[in-house]
Amino acid sequence: MKKFVFSRVLQAVPTLWVIATLTFFMTRYAPGGPFDTEKAIPQEIKVKLESHFGLDRPLFDQYLLYLKNLLRGDLGPSFKYPGWEVSELIATAFPVSLTLGVLSLSIALLIGIPAGIIAALRKNTWLDYLPMSLSMAGICLPTFVLGPLLIYIFSTQLGLFPPLGWYGPADWVLPSFTLGLFYAAYVARLTRAGMLETLQQDYVRTARAKGANPWQVVTRHALRGGLLPVVTYLGPAFAGLISGSFIIESIFFIPGLGKFFVTAAFNRDYTMVLGTVLFYAALIILLNLLVDLLQAWLDPKARQAQ
Amino acid sequence: MSVEKSSSLGRDAWLRLRANRMAMISLFILIGITTVSFIGPLISPYAYDQQNLDRVFEGPGKDHIFGTDNLGRDLFARTTYGGRISLAVGLLATLVSLVIGVSYGMFSGYTGGRVDAWMMRAVDVLYALPFTIFVILLMVMFGRNFLLLFLAIGAVEWLTMARITRAQTMNLKRSEFVEAARALGYSHGRILFRHILPNLIGPIIIYATLTVPAVMLLEAVLSFLGLGVQAPMSSWGSLIKEGAEKMDAAPWLLFFPGMFFCLSLFALNFLGDGLRDALDPKSSKD
Amino acid sequence: MCTVLIFHKFHPLIALVGCLCVAWFVQGCSKPSNVETALNENILHFGLGAEPQHLDPHLATSVAAHNILSALLEGLVSEHPETLKPVPGVAQRWEKLEEGKTYLFYLRDNALWSNGDPVTAHDFVYSFRRILNPNLGAQYASMLHPLKNAKLYHEGKKSWEEANVGAEAIDNYTLKITLEHPIPYFLELLNHYSWFPVHRPTLEKFDAFEKMGTPWTKPGNFVSNGPFQLIEHQINSVIAVGKNEGYWDASSVRLEGIRFYPIESVDTEERAYRAGFLHLTQSVSADRIDYLKEKYPDELHFEPYLGTYFYRFNLKSPPFDDLRVRQAFSLAIDRQRLVDKVLKGGQTPANTFTPPGTGGFYPQPQFIHDPKKARRLLDSYLSEKGLERLPPIELTYNTSEGHKKVAEALHGMWNEALGVEIRLFNMEWKVFLSTISKGEFSLARAGWIGDYVDPHTFLHMWRSGEGLNMTGWTNASYDKALKLGETSNSEKERWENFQVCEDLLANDFPVLPLYFYVHLTLRHPTVRGWYPTLLDHHPYKYIYLQKEEAP
């Protein structure tokens, strides 16, 4: 197992390097630079600005310099917020996004898994159609509709929760629910599909035939296999949560990483873009690794396949 | 005397699908929505971009059955027109992702060995690239062209299709009939197109049906960022974005396009599930 | 049956979740809003609208930065809260000599930095020198070009001493300023943050004289001489300032602190206001005006704002190389209708480029609505070129709901009056700027907010070769009249020359003025001492919070 983890970590390095290179040249290729401003700064000043940030050197030199700094763990200063380091900004924003992600995912699992199990056990009855239809609401309503809708109902009309901010636990509820409901729908469907498949397996049928307690059949025998698709989905889901949370952060005024990320792209804040892309990529790779380990634990067959 | 009709795989699948009530309802809903989106702009007395600054923010009424928006444009016209755009984007982007993904996956799975390993490695890397920056950059570079909007979206969605296709291809490669075909001296191309591809139709259809809603959602997200269709064109995504902001003052702006959008996504998802149940024999028991 | 079992097992879990929910609700219901607690704490909650890029007054460029810097720093003069006329700031009095070519400022001896150091004339000289320093790359350095020989120093042609730049500290508390030529609005200029002083020891500590991007502006390092000092700065979250007890006029300052929230989404900002999270918003969405007028009539404010919203033509790009087409486009627009039906914020149609009344200048209205004449002009152009109709025209604007709305409305008007097809292109900001500055546009949206209350801030844009011009329009008569308006001492002569400038714009149509800005904002009635001003400047030391009077 150790060998497995180690080899994956080793694989991560070239992956990150390719991503860094791709992103570096992609962002430079896009029109517009960090110092294009409305007041159309005189050429001499623009030149000064660019030289301060080393943008006047040949592109390839800049690239090599960036890689060199990267190896030392230096992500560089932000172009849009001079005086602040990219790593500093990521360090303040990431815990926020992480909390949001964890809460949302928890809600997704807490709602989705039981819904999916019930639906699977009561396939093609109203107990199947109802939760599945409700969960559909999560899938087909984009977050920028669901968010304001929940705010309108629970904040504006009922006054139960604050409509924005990230200052205390009360602020966490609506954003997490908005994001969580979206993923709950997928989790429910995947759980249902997984459970249906597992419940057909011979070993489950045998257990049933032997007269085992139905509850035990579900938890002890079926659940492990049934949750497999959900687990596989968890990795990309969590990564998507964190990187796609921009809309939620904009609607609820949350200082998370998604906001920094999109702002950086729109502002051609090269270092910030690179920093966040690499950070996300590393995160995704880590999550995929954890998910694979979790999968192996759940499904002995997968373990064998390593 | 009754003669038993021989049933093909396709016919079996169709019968199973027919029996699935939700899937059939979904299918009819989709056909209905598509029809309305197609003929709506033709029968509406107003053009989708026809402004009437004296009649802004009117609720549903005699003249405007869905109401009007902030520039007095008829919402029915805009919703149905938006349907054309959203459905077109959905279908075309899915088509693009399908073509890229299936070709890539088939080639990778069939070739196997090192080439396959590298190709899949590339897919892993692309998976780790956050989608937002990629699409933003694409839109920024090519955004002026509506055609390229769905090329950009499709270019992001092909990864999973590639993975699925590759897995299936590898399975099929080892099957007996393919080995027989090799033994008979058939060319690789012929095997791929005549033997492997037909067996991929099932997963392809399922996945395509499920990609369309994902693409439509993606288009809505792009509209939120201001990267979607250019004004004054409307898509369901841009309409519901505007509607969400004015929910308390003009709820019809969200309700009607939202209804169309949700029903479509709903129906596509259920249809996809139904297709999966129908085409995949394993889950037909119970 | 399984369902029943599931509920059984989860019974205690459900109870726990239930309790937590109740706890949330209770907490949510009982928490007082910011606006309510502010009455006791005396903290103003301010919607900033955007995260400022710089808190360094010599590098800042945005409205957001101004809002914060005017709390932290004070220049030679300050502003009267209602008229914005110069009142004593760090300088307690001044003398105008040589018909306005020289000024002597007498600084008060009790003006202190927040760390106790006295504010001296040397600080101002150091600060002017810094922003003009060619190596710093300050974007607003040109604001100080009125100083004698400042331009020479700024362009690196001479050193500070060689150039003998017109800012000299006679002694610790006397500052002598010499200008290139008299400027009637010079004192107003001094209220721009580019003229604000910075604390020399702090900048030297962080080696920030020539370098940008140093941490001297972070809380804990920032030393201020204004009514407030910097306490907290979380990017995208909040910028908090607290009362500076060392400020010479601290006894007049009634607020204990201000919290600035950089909320970019105008809908989120509105929600924040309505929930009592903010005292005031930076802007209001045009589509919400009718609704808010009804629900919050006393809190929605329309305040005249010194700015012009206009479109630029690219004179190098056909068909806009032809005067007739440009004129046709201008005549086809019903500006009054645009303002009444589309914008609805009480904006005024722009019949001139400079807002009437700027500094006392009232230009003649010349950009009018005459669709018939527009059609005739266009037809004349078309028949000469042998065309049936114009090829589709590209209209470029930067992504924003407001701009989109205007563009769509104009698209309708041009279509109706001229039968021309307009293709709208929205681009995100950076791409937009890059595209415009490269001249890769036909017709593009633009706006200009005045930096000071004088027509010059508007008219200087169209000088030949001026960086902000970007239309390709050059006119020697315009340049001449502008120069005369800049340098003359007689108001009558200045206005005459500026009128010439306006006439030339109205004859040649390099630009399409559309409307004059109105600052739309929601403001809570408990905020007092706040007056609408043309530059949207609101000196904080006159602001206080007081409960609404019972009717």
Q: What is the ipTM of this complex?
A: 0.84
Q: pLDDT digit string (tens) for B1-44?
A: 444 455 566 777 788 788 778 888 889 999 999 999 999 888 88
What pLDDT, on a 0 to 100 scale, did the predictor assign at position B144? 57
Q: Which residues of A touch C430 (CB under 8 A)?
A: 31-34, 36, 266-268
- Report whether C31 contacts A170 (CB < 8 A): yes
Percentage helix, strand, coil, to 5, in chain C? 40, 20, 40
Query: Is the Cβ pair B128, A285 closer than 8 Å?
Result: yes
Instruction: Give the residue on B whose Cα is nearest the Cα of A20.
Output: B129
Kindly state the DSSP code that residue C183 receives in the 8-state scheme.
-
Task: Please count the CA atoms within 13 angstroms of the CA of A184 that sit on its side-chain side.
Answer: 27
Q: Tell me how far apart the alpha carbons of residues B265 and B67 are, in angstroms, rounded to a whole number.
A: 23
In CATH terms, the superfamily for domain A86-305 is: MetI-like (1.10.3720.10)
From A285, A268, A276, select the one nearest A246 (Cα to Cα): A276
Question: What confidence category does residue C71 fall into, taking pLDDT thresholds of 50, 70 and 90?
Answer: very high
Name the DSSP letter for residue C252: G
Locate C145 and state its tokens.
């070009």
Q: Which residues of B touch A276 (CB under 8 A)?
A: 130
More confident call, A280 vs A40: A280
Ranking A275-279, B195-199, C250-254, C291-295 by mean pLDDT, the lowest is: B195-199
Q: How far apart are CA C529 and CA C48, in angstroms?
A: 19
pLDDT at C182 over 50: yes
Q: Assess whether pLDDT exceeds 50 at residue B285.
A: no
pLDDT band at C529 (very low <50, low <70, confident <90, very high): very high
Q: Are B231 and C404 in contact (CB under 8 A)?
A: yes
Judged by a CB distance cut-off of 8 A, whether residue C342 touches chain B is yes
**Alpha-helical segments (H) within C170-311:** 186-189, 200-205, 266-274, 289-295
Number of residue pairs across A and C with CB atoms under 8 Å? 160
Residue of C nearest to B249 (CA): C291
Question: B269–A136: do the CB atoms touch at under 8 Å?
Answer: yes
Taking only the tens place, the pLDDT of each residue in B231-240 is: 788 899 899 9
Q: What residues pair up with C93 in beta bridges, in sequence order?
A: C106
Quote the pLDDT of residue A30.
67
Q: Provide the 10 A C-beta neighbour count for residue B275.
A: 24
Residue C137: what pLDDT?
79
Does the pLDDT value for residue C221 go beyond 60? yes
pLDDT of residue B259: 92
CB atoms within 10 A of CB C372: 10
Average pLDDT, chain C: 89
Query: What's the pLDDT at A53?
Result: 73
Q: Evaluate if residue A40 carries a pLDDT over 60.
A: no
CB C366 within 8 A of CB C353: no
> Which of C400, C270, C264, C406 lies closest to B249 in space, CA to CA?
C270
Residue type at position C504: L
Q: Flag whether residue B52 sits within 8 Å of chain C, measured between CB atoms.
A: no
User: Which residue, among A24, A28, A144, would best test binding to B if mutated, counting the most B CBs under 10 Å from its CB?
Assistant: A144
Q: From CA C267, how far away is CA B246, in angstroms rounded?
A: 9
Beta carbons of B133 and A145 less than 8 Å apart: no
Shortest Cα–Cα distance, C501 to chain B (Å): 34
Instruction: Check CB contact of A33 with chain B, cutoff 8 Å.
Output: no
Q: Quick check: B133 and A22 CB within 8 A?
A: no
* DSSP-assigned states of every residue in A248-264: HHHHHT---HHHHHHHH
Measured at the alpha carbon of residue A45, what is the angle toward residues A41 and A50, in degrees to the nearest 5? 105
Q: Which chain A residues have a beta carbon less than 8 Å from that of C68? A: none
Angle formed at CA A209 by CA A208 and CA A211, multiple of 5 degrees: 70
Quick one: pLDDT band at residue B134, thresholds 50, 70, 90? low
Q: Enumerate residues 6+ apart whose C-beta is below 8 A from A84.
A: A77, A78, C215, C235
Give the residue from C33, C45, C66, C268 with the most A CB atoms within 10 Å of its CB, the best one to mutate. Answer: C268
What is the distance between the alpha carbons of residues B269 and A140, in angstroms, rounded to a whole number? 9
Contact: B132, A196; criterion CB under 8 Å = no
- Encoding tokens for residue C483? 């120069």
Asked if C428 lies within 8 A of B248 by C-beta distance, the reply is no
Segment C226-242 mean pLDDT: 94
Contact C258, C240 (CB under 8 A): yes
d(CA B143, CA C247): 52
- Are residues B226 and C399, on separate chains, in Cβ contact within 8 Å? yes
Q: Which amino acid is at A53?
A: F
The shortest C-alpha distance from B216 to chain C (Å) reads: 21
Test B143 with C427 for CB contact under 8 angstroms: yes
Q: A196 and B283 in contact by Cβ < 8 A?
A: yes
Whole-number mean pLDDT of chain B?
Answer: 82
Number of other CB atoms surrounding residue C208 within 10 Å: 23
Distance CA B124, CA B130 (A): 12
Q: Do A141 and B273 touch (CB under 8 A)?
A: no
Q: In A, which residues are within 8 Å of C142 by CB distance?
A: 42
Is the pLDDT score of C150 beyond 60?
yes
Rounded Cα distance, A227 and A230, in Å: 5
Task: Give the model confidence (pLDDT) of C77-92 as tens digits.
Answer: 999 999 888 999 999 9
- Residue spans per domain, chain A: 86-305
Q: Which of A287, A242, A233 is nearest to A104 (CA)?
A: A242
Query: What pLDDT score does B121 carry?
Result: 81
pLDDT at A306: 41
Q: Which helix or strand (DSSP H or E) is residue C88 part of?
A: strand C86-88
Question: Closest by alpha carbon to B155, among B72, B215, B82, B77?
Answer: B215
Which amino acid does the sequence have at B45? P
Alpha-carbon distance C450 to nearest alpha carbon in chain A (angstroms): 12
Say if residue C108's pLDDT is above 80. Answer: yes
A142 and B221: CB-CB below 8 Å? Answer: yes
Return phi, psi of residue C237, to 5°.
-125, -65
* pLDDT 10s digits, C501-510: 999 999 999 9
Sign of the alpha-carbon dihedral angle for B259, B261, B262, B266: positive
The continuous run of DSSP H or E covering C480 comes out as helix C476-487
The per-residue pLDDT for C507 is 92
Please choose, from the candidates C339, C397, C347, the residue with its C-alpha nearest in 3D space to the C-alpha of residue C369.
C339
Interface test with A, best of B29, B86, B132, B286 (most A CBs within 10 A): B132
Cβ-defined contact of C267 to B57 (cutoff 8 Å)? no
**Tens digits of per-residue pLDDT, B80-101?**
999 999 998 888 889 888 999 9
The pLDDT tens digits for A220-252 are 667 777 777 777 777 777 777 776 688 899 899
Alpha helices in C364-454 (DSSP H): 371-385, 401-418, 429-437
**Better-scored residue on pLDDT, B4 or C185:** C185
Q: Give alpha helix (H) positions in C136-247.
A: 150-154, 160-163, 186-189, 200-205
Nearest to C290 among B57, B232, B248 (CB): B57
Sheet-wide strand order for C300-313: C348-349, C511-522, C300-313, C443-449, C393-398, C422-427
The pLDDT tens digits for A181-214 are 888 888 888 888 778 777 777 777 777 777 777 6
Other CB atoms within 10 Å distance of the CB of residue C4? 9
- Taking Cα atoms as reference points, which of A296, A303, A105, A18 lies closest to residue B124? A18
> What is the pLDDT averaged over residues B151-164?
80
pLDDT at C69 over 90: yes
Which chain C residues are within 8 Å of B227, Cβ to Cβ? 428
Q: Identify the top-confidence range among A215-219, B22-26, C411-415.
A: C411-415
Of C213, C261, C433, the CB nearest to A38: C433
